[in-house]
Amino acid sequence: MHRYEVLRRPLITEKNTLLQSQGKYAFEVAREANKQQVKQAVEAAFSVKVAAVNMMTVPGKQHRVGRQQVLSPVWKKAIVTLKAGDKIELFEGV
């Protein structure tokens, strides 16, 4: 998997903006990606040093569409902790 296929999108939520003060940033990543691939992708894309990567699989939720119950897709989330002094400019001002 190429490094630019690993990161799908940044996750900008109220909880994740509070984590930014601790140097932690959240991304939706490819389901096949592992911690080493996420670390390399973030370091290459944003020119920062990554201290740790925590990953979790987010289960799909059931929704009603008319009379049918449908399941939203399962996706993977990564919380990336940067080394002290580093920050990602993409998230600033959000």
60, part of any domain: yes
Q: What torsion, rounded to 10 degrees, do the Cα atoms 12, 71, 77, 27 define? A: -30
Output the domain CATH number for residue 34. 3.30.70.330
Q: Determine the pLDDT at residue 36.
A: 97
79, part of any domain: yes
Each residue's pLDDT, cut to its tens digit, for the chain (94 residues) gives 888 899 999 999 999 999 999 999 999 999 999 999 999 999 999 999 999 999 999 999 999 999 999 999 999 999 999 999 998 987 666 6
**Could you give the number of structural domains in the chain?**
1
Q: Determine the pLDDT at residue 3.
A: 82
- Tokens for 28? 């939706």
List all residues 6 or more positions away from 82 whose beta carbon is below 8 Å from its beta carbon. Answer: 23, 24, 25, 48, 49, 50, 51, 88
